[in-house]
Each structure stands twice: as structure tokens, then as C-alpha cells.
Chains A and B, each alone.
Chain A
Amino acid sequence: MTQEAQNDKFCLSRRAFLLSGGTAAGIVAVTGIPGLVDAALQTATYPRRKIGQVSKLKVDVPLVVQYPGKDPNSMAYLVKLGKSAGGGVGPKGDIVAFSTLCSHMGGPLIGTYKGKHKVLGPCPFHLTTFDLSRHGLVVAGQATESLPQVRLEVKGDDIYATGVMGLIYGYHDNLAIQG
């Protein structure tokens, strides 16, 4: 992906981010999408925070980061999958970040990453697995939601977290608890 394309991606709205699946490098035009203004307003209050650097990431070696808050529920994994992924950023579109609390009952997913399948899990509580290349979709198990995905942006070598897609376990509102 060219730097120009990355800059475009940097500007993508929440909704455009959601629909940016697929392996091709094409960029969805953002103007004129109904509802876009609302979506932008909704996400405006998520903090924008630097959580890592592209050059420091190794394929299949996840790093624990904190987002959106500093509390234990806000622990997330930042991982370079080595192949492009839904919502992925970086030159290969393969850098993603996800909550590490299982969206079933909050089980700890740290230490369960499976590089072969790009899967997080199984959760030690009830064995749910999540596909990190597909927006955290449940592979098998009991969660009623995908694993919440941290929205990322890349500027130069820096990786910024700018929002969360999906309700983090324990919260009733991702924006209600911060700090």
C-alpha cells in the first residue's frame, strides 16, 4: 500500500473501516455515504492514543496494550498476523488489535494466540475461539459477539488506537469508563 493510500485510510470513518474487508488494496470513497456524519460524531469521543510502532512488531508475536482505558478490562492484544486482515493496518494491512477479554464471559485470552490459524483462543473458561483475520468473528464457541476490535491507524511508523468496534466485556458502554 502506498503512503498516499495509508493517508486515505487514516481518514476513513468508522463505517468505512467496518466495510474495508477484502484482500484488494482498493479504497472505498468516503464522501456521500449516508449516516457518515453520525458515525463520525459517535466515535469522536474515543481517545486517540499511540499504542505501538510498526517496526517493532514481529509476525505472530502479540503485544499487550491498554485501550481505551487503563483498567483491566481495557487490555488488548496488538498483533501482526503476517497476512492481510479485516481492519488491518500497516504496509501489508496485517496489523490488528483486539480486546483480550472473551466476549462470552470475560475469560482471559492472553497467551492463547494461535499463529497457524490467526485465532485467539480457546478461552480457558468455555473454549470460544475468535478469527483475528475476520474482525474477531467467533470460530466456534459460546460468545454472542465478535471479539471487540480496536480501530487502528498508522502514521509513519506509529500505530494509533482510535476506537473500539463492539462492546468490551464487563462494560455497558465503552465510552463510560476511561482513564
Chain B
Amino acid sequence: MVRAASDYQIPEDRIPLPPSNAEVLTTACDYCIVGCGYKAYRWPVGREGGPKAGQNALKVDFPAPVNSGKWISPNMHNITMVNGKPHHVVVIPDGDSKVVNVQGTHSVRGGALAQKLFNPNKPTAQRLRQPMMRVRGTLQAVSWDTAFEVAAGISKHVLDKYGEHAWGMKSYSYQYFENTYAISKLAFGAVGTPAFAPHDKPGPGKDTPGIDFSGINPFSASYEDWGAAEVIFFSGVDPYETKSVLFTSWIMAGKTPNKKLIFALPRKTTGVAWGESKGGLFLPVIPGTDTVLHLAMIRLILENGWEDKEFISRMISNKWEIGSGMGRGTRNTPWQWVTTWGKYGTDFANYKKWVLGYKYAELDRAAKITGVPANLIRKGYFWGVTATSPAFISEEDYQDFINISCGAGTRPGQVISRGGGHQRGWMGGAGYPRGLSPEKMPGRRKKEIDLDRWTADGNLRFAWVIGTTWFQAMAGSQNLMDAVRGMTAQSPHQIDSFDAKAAIETLKRRADSGGMAVVNQDIYPVAPIGTEYADLVLPAATWGEEDFTRCNGERRLRLYSKIADPPGQAMPDWKIIAGFAKKMGFKDFDWKDSNEIFEEAARFGRKGVLNYHPLVVKAKKDGVRAHDLLRSYGTEGIQTPIRMVKGELVGTKRLHDETLELGPPEGPTMHPKWLTHFGTQVGKAVLLKSPWEDFQDFYERVTPKGDEVWVTNGRINEVWQSAFDDKRRPYIMQRWPYQFLEIHPDDAKKRGIESGDLVAVENDDLLVQTGGYLGVDGKDLTFTELEKAGKIEKSKGSFTAVAMVTEAIRPGVTFAYFNFPENPANSVVHRVVDPMTNRYRYKLGKGKLRKLGESPYKHSFTTMSFAPRDIM
């Protein structure tokens, strides 16, 4: 047998130490929402520090002590250009940190941040370096001026002839205030288009509507609260895989390290296994049935009278308070719009009556639907109610009632939050023009657009895609790709000249024949939107290449320092937006630097939870740049909303905080009600009913039949988002060279599949919604009615993956990574939105499994591991 070469990173056995005079810059992690604090040490190539504390900038004797946060792993070092000269750069967690990543702990993602910096001798050499135009089918370099001229030329034509609805933008929502402010100022302000969607959803709006509609801010909690909880109920998430350091620094530790963890998930991962080893509980729920599980638990609590009666009487809205609009009209609140006038919101007495009389809340029926044995459900809830500090984390909820009946929400260690999420980097420079949206709820209210459906239905003539994999991140990925390919690469109108005017004329002809021009702005070539469809590809500068700001999952605002030069002609997104805006003739896009935007944007966030306006006011008073004032707060930063107390800036540890004592608001300080109460008109939370019937028709239609299995998906700790950086990290690619699929041994055996086999996942019964923009009568937009009206079409989707056979997953359920763009698991997820929220049911894919043979990793000793993730 001949041995084949496979992926293998040659491990380093030494790293250069930063000399004691190395420059030190503070930053935070670019990846998950936990947002750990990091320091970057940089010094010119040619020198190194020594192992004695006096000889290196870390001021530590090597070998560095265990758990010190002062050890530099080889992946924390890189060589990059600073002001045109090669420099060593070490990006290491802040070992002195007392917040977030206490003592310098880190995730596998953040620990490799240095590898993000551009080094032409490493895979980062694939970075986009110059603007490119697709001429005669090939992307070739052009000047920024040509790129702006072409983009502006076709934009003007589309706006003049087809209107703002035909000018679309698909953008990240999190990649720093300075960029998102410019992006939203352009899209919603200057252009005024409703055809916009953030990276993770088909349209704008709340990430977790169920929590939001109750009046709970999903990021109200402080990490300290997770540390202080006695019991935490996790629904649909294991934070070890999604918010690693929150788990290791706070959930495993904190004030109450012996807390009990309850997980409702279809598969067992590291955090679940750890929770079980500490006496916790695992509720192996069938995908999509969480609502029924929650209802059964709520019923148990109400039957036994275990609810926190004092808290409910104080903090839950009564029927008069639900209708209260405080002068804005009784029903003029977002949750009322989408919940069709009082269908869900109710006071406690009526909620209790509803649950106790509701058949889907009955324990035995719930056990059958959810697949979780009745005794486990019973046990889970008993713990929640007997704890004095229960906390709740949920993910992917849309119409779930999140349990506040145990008294969680407003006190230290008693909080409600979500388990995933990117950092909070959205600062709207203008509001979303919902009034222009083509979509409407039954009744009178407009709702935000579903940009995917709008695009696939052929309504866009221009699309600008910024920093996202669009199709692979959305449901029915391949079906959506097919639609866009038809409007772009397959159009007969392709640019064949470097003359900007000629290029614009070609794109006009394309638009006028039903096609679409595409601009893709990113840091790497993105397939297929950039590599195959885009007419213009624009190179962006990113983390570490510009001074940026944003908040983490406890609203902690930090400065992310510029560390190194961006590659080639790459520019930060705000600067690209400004260049285009000026070509369009739009006013007020003349920023000198990112600090100027940061200061300008502050006024627009004053009423929100990310309010940092007082910091800008103080900086002006002190005669310093606001970025520089924030820089002085280092990796600790300051938690928003920022307040001013006796002339000093004060952060806000938690929202809805009953223990927070506020004096009169001082200077620019705002004291919105949600600082000390829930985020509703009266400050009391709204109980929302969650009838299973509203979801049941869709759920039953997509439930696997015959030899189909559920194909659910989610994050794994070692990979971030679309693996855009991980693909350029040889070590991560050695660990995860390919999409994988966890399969239960029973399901694998039936199909002759072993770990390491290459498997095709095929869904020939993929549902795709077309049209259905306007609801008139109450049930118009439900799945049943859409199907009756012929708005649901059948399509197909598939991807390949390497099988990982493991008992950690439920029989009948398989699990893949959510966004390996080459093998998109979302391809087998139905592109039908929830009618109330316009959100996909991302976790409810299905398909048949076909063994294709052995993958190259099956017998490799170097690449990919098939050991399970729940070893404890």
C-alpha cells in the first residue's frame, strides 16, 4: 500500500520572545461574542528578547508558569509588515485581565489571532489586495476610481429606472461601529433601500424575537452573572462550543463553581459532558420540539405552584399594562405588530390557565413529541425552581416563551440571555426604512424584507455583498445560488472593456434584461459570489489593520488597535463606502479617519444599549480623540450604556438591574427605563403564549420520513463562521480539513457507514417559498396557507461530509458544521421563513445519506480526528 501525503502542519518548537522594548497595543478578539482581551507585542525583525523577566516585554521568566496567560504558543506569533517594515508580532491574551478572559485564558480561535495578520509567506497570501473587475470572464485589477465609477454608474441607473427596492445590500452586521455606521448611512440614509439583510438572517430585525418581545434584552446579563448562577438551563446551545471562555472562565468557575447545568440539545458535546460529570442533566431533545419541552416544564412548575410569586406580581405585566402604550397608542409596540393584536401576550393568571389547559403542555404527550423521557423533564424543572439563582440561555428562539417564572431576569446571578451571537458591532447611521418594505403582516403593519426571496424572485438589479458568504449562510443555499447565477454569470451581458463607461453600459443592458450587477467586498475571494458572480471585487482591510470599536456579549466597549499594514490597496469598509458615496454625489461621507466616524456615530446610539455618547462628550471636554480616550481603558474597556456620574464615566454591569441605584441623569447621561426594569412600556415583562399549532404544520411537513434523517447543524469550537480565517490556518485545517457529519451508530450501521467515510447528504424534498409578501387575512402567511396558495415549491439540495459515527448524537439525527462554504449544510435546510419573524428554521434540515466511499482521512494518522467531542 502506497502512502499518500496529507495535510500536516510541521509544528514549531521555538518562538521568538518580544524584547523588553517591544511596542504594546491593546485589542480584543475578532471572533465570538465573548470578546476576550488581547495584547499585541510588535518589534522589528532582527531582534529577540530573552527568557529572563528583565529581558522580555512580558516581564516573565521562562518557562512561563502554568495557567499564567504569559506563554506564547507558536500560533500566537507571526511576521507582518508595520509601516512597510517587517515586524514580529505576538498576539497574546491579556494575562493581567480581571474581566472576560480572567488571567489570560483564551479559545482556540482567539489564540490564533496572530495568524490573521497578513503574511505573504503564509496562506494569508490569498488576501484580496486590489480592486478587480470581471472583464471577459476574468477578474483583473483596476483602480479604485474605476471601481467606484462603475459601481456608481450602474447604481444610478438602477435607482433611476427601478427604484431603491432594486438596489440591494447584504452585509455583516457586526464588523465594527465605524464600518456599520458608514454602511447603514449609505444603505438606509443616502440610498434609502429596504432591500437589505444582515449576514445571518434573510432580513433586518431582532435576532431573538421571543426574548425581545417579552421585553428582555438578550445581552442584559454580565459574565459575572453566569458565574453567580446556581442552576443554568441551556436550550439549544452548549456555550463551550459557542462562547468558550464564558464557559471556562465563568460557568465552570465564578462565584458558584458548583452550579448545576441542564442542557436541552440533540447531541452531547464537551460542555454537556462536563455538566453531567458535575451532576447536571442532559435532555436529548428531537430537533424543533423545544417549544413543547419548555411548555411541559412550565406546566410542571405551575401545577406545583413553584413559580416565584413575589417576582411575578412585581415584574410581569397585567392585562392593562400589556396594552399600555404610554402615549404612543395602546398597541403600538413591535411585538404587538407581529403577534397580531393580543394573540400571545397575556397576564399571569390567563397564562397559567392556558398552560394548564393546553394539551401540548401535558407531560406524557410532550415526552412523546420531544423524545425526552418524562422523568428527565420532571427532574429538569425541579432544579430550576429550587435554585435561588436560576439563569437561562437560549438560542434560535423565535416564538418561544422564555421562562421568567423562576424569577430570572433582573437580579445578579438571575438572568436570561442567549448562547451564541457575534460581537455587537452595529451602529445604525440611519433607520431601516420599513415603510418601503414590500412585505406586510396580515393587518396594516409592514415587516422587514426577506432579501433572499426578493432576490430569487428576480426583483434586484444591483447587489452589494460585504463580508459574508450570503448563500451558504442562508437556507436552501444552492437553490439561491442557482437563481443568482442566472442573473449574473449566465447573463449574456458581460463586461468586455476596461473603459468604465462601456462597463456601465454593459451592466445597464444586463439590468434591463432582468439581470443583476454584483459588487463583492471582502478580505478573501469568496465562492461563488466573489469568484464567479461579482462584476467588481473590492479588497477590504480588517481587524488589526485599522483602529475599530465595538462591544462584546456583556456590552463591553473596547478599542481594537491597528497592529499592522493592510495588504496592497485594501481599505477599511468605511473608506470604500465613502469612496462610492462621493461618486454618487451623496453628502457627509467625508471622514478623515475612523475616529471621526466613531465620534459622529455616538449621537445615533444614544438611546440604545450600546450608548457610548458620554465617552465622546468627555473626550471633547478633555481635548482628546474619543478613540484615544477609549484606548486608555485598555482590554478592560467600559460596559455600555456609559453613564456620567460626578463627571466620571461609569459603565453599566447589567441591564434590567433592580439593584442598580441611579441618581438624577448627569450631563449627556440617559436613564431609560430598561436600566432598572424590563424593556417594555411599563417596565414589566410580557408573558407570551407559544402555541405549538403555529409551528406544527411546517414541523410535521419537514419531519424526516422513510430513510431520511434530520440534518441539523451548528458551531464547533475550533472554527469561526465560514472558516474564512481558519482556512488559512494550517493547524485548524489539519484538525478540520472537511465538512463532517455526526451520525449515530444505529443509523450508520444500516447504511454501511463508518467513521472516515465520505457521505453525500441529499434532500430531494427541499421546500422553497416564492412570493407571499403580503398578508391580508390572519392566517395568510402560515405554512399551510402558503402551500395552498402555491407559494411553496419543491427543490433540491446536497452536500458532502466525512462521517463521524458517535453515540453522542440522537438516533435519527445527524449534525454538520453550519457553514463550511464548500459543503453548505444549509443546502438541505428549507427556505421557508417563519411568518412572524422572517427567520429561517435553520436547524431543521433533512436528507438521505449516501455513502460515496472512503475519505482520505479515514486511515490518516495526521489529519482529522474521529474521537468524539463528549469525552469526560
Chain A residues within CB distance 8 Å of chain B: 15, 18-24, 26, 28, 71, 73, 84-87, 101, 103-108, 114, 117-119, 121-122, 125-127, 129, 131, 133-135, 137-146, 148, 164-177
Contacts and interface: CB of A to CB of B under 8 A. Distances in A.
Contacts of B214: none
12 contacts: A20-B3, A22-B4, A86-B861, A106-B67, A127-B248, A138-B865, A141-B270, A146-B11, A148-B11, A166-B12, A167-B15, A168-B63
Contacts of A23: 1, 859, 861
A98 B860 CA distance: 19
Nearest to A116: B871
A140 B269 contact: yes
B35 to A, nearest CB: 16
Contacts of A126: 105, 244, 248, 252
A170 B727 CA distance: 28
B67 A105 contact: yes
Main secondary structure of the interface of A (DSSP, over half): loop
Q: Which of A125, A164, A172 has the most CB of B within 10 A?
A: A172
A6 B593 CA distance: 64
A42 B326 CA distance: 75
B13 interface: yes
A122 B867 contact: no
A133 B863 CA distance: 11
Interface stretch (B68-76, B412-420, B475-483, B571-579): B68-76
B854 interface: no
Nearest to B66: A106
B717 A144 contact: no
Nearest to A166: B11
A144 B2 CA distance: 31
Contact of B871 (A19, A20, A117): A117
Contacts of B3: 20-22, 24, 26, 28
B10 A137 contact: no
B861 A22 contact: yes
B869 A139 contact: yes
A72 B254 CA distance: 29
The 4 A-B pairs at the shortest CB distance, nearest first, are namely A21-B861, A86-B861, A170-B63, A166-B11
A142 B11 contact: no
Contacts of B14: 167, 171-176
A173 B13 contact: yes
A101 B66 contact: yes
B111 interface: yes
B731 interface: yes
B839 interface: no
Interface residues on B, range: 35 or more
A141 B74 contact: no
A166 B75 CA distance: 11
A143 B74 CA distance: 11
B72 to A, nearest CB: 7
Nearest to A176: B51
Contact of B8 (A18, A73, A121, A133): A18
A144 B66 contact: no
Interface string B1-32: 11111101011111111000000000000000
Contacts of B718: 138, 140
Contact of A71 (B2, B63, B111): B63
A51 to B, nearest CB: 18
A172 B735 contact: no
B270 A172 contact: no
A85 B495 CA distance: 54
A145 B11 contact: yes
B633 interface: no
Given A126-B248, A167-B74, 17 more contacts: A21-B861, A24-B1, A101-B66, A105-B67, A107-B67, A108-B66, A118-B867, A122-B274, A127-B248, A129-B871, A131-B867, A134-B861, A137-B864, A141-B108, A144-B76, A144-B111, A173-B13
Nearest to A146: B11
B71 A105 contact: yes
B107 interface: yes
Given A21-B6, A131-B865, A144-B731, A167 B66 contact: no
A172 B11 contact: no
Nearest to A117: B867
Contacts of A105: 66-69, 71, 105
Nearest to A147: B11
Contact of A145 (B6, B73, B860): B73
Contact of A167 (B11, B106, B717, B731): B11
Interface in B65-112: 65-69, 71-76, 105-108, 111-112
Contacts of B716: 140
Nearest to B115: A144
Contacts of B53: none
B862 interface: yes
B270 A127 contact: yes
A86 B862 contact: yes
Given A106-B66, A134-B861, A166-B13, A142 B5 contact: no
B649 interface: no
A142 B867 contact: no
B66 A140 contact: no
Contacts of A140: 269-270, 716-718, 869, 871
Nearest to B58: A172
A119 B71 contact: no
A119 B106 contact: no
A49 B14 CA distance: 21
A173 B731 CA distance: 19
B66 A107 contact: yes
B8 A177 contact: no
Contacts of B11: 145-146, 148, 165-167
A125 B67 contact: yes
B734 interface: yes
A142 B107 contact: yes
Contacts of B252: 126
Nearest to B269: A140
Contacts of A104: 106, 108, 111
B67 to A, nearest CB: 5
A21 B66 contact: no
A114 B244 contact: no
Given A21-B6, A117-B868, A138-B108, A171 B860 contact: no
A22 B111 contact: no
A24 to B, nearest CB: 4
Given A23-B859, A177-B63, A122 B270 contact: yes
B62 A172 contact: yes
Nearest to A15: B10
Contacts of B66: 101, 105-108, 169-170
A144 B63 contact: no
B498 to A, nearest CB: 42
Nearest to A121: B871
Nearest to A136: B11
B769 to A, nearest CB: 37
A71 B269 CA distance: 35
Given A71-B63, A137-B734, A144 B13 contact: no
Contacts of B68: 105-106
Interface string B37-76: 0000000000000010000000000111111110111111
A167 B107 contact: no
A125 B244 CA distance: 13
Contacts of A87: 861
A40 B110 CA distance: 33
B872 interface: yes
B462 interface: no
Residue with the highest number of chain A CB atoms closer than 10 Å, among B63, B731, B863: B63
Interface centre among A73, A173, A175 (most CB of B within 10 A): A173
B17 A172 contact: yes
B740 interface: no
Nearest to B112: A144
Nearest to B6: A21
A144 B108 contact: yes
B240 interface: yes
B71 A169 contact: yes
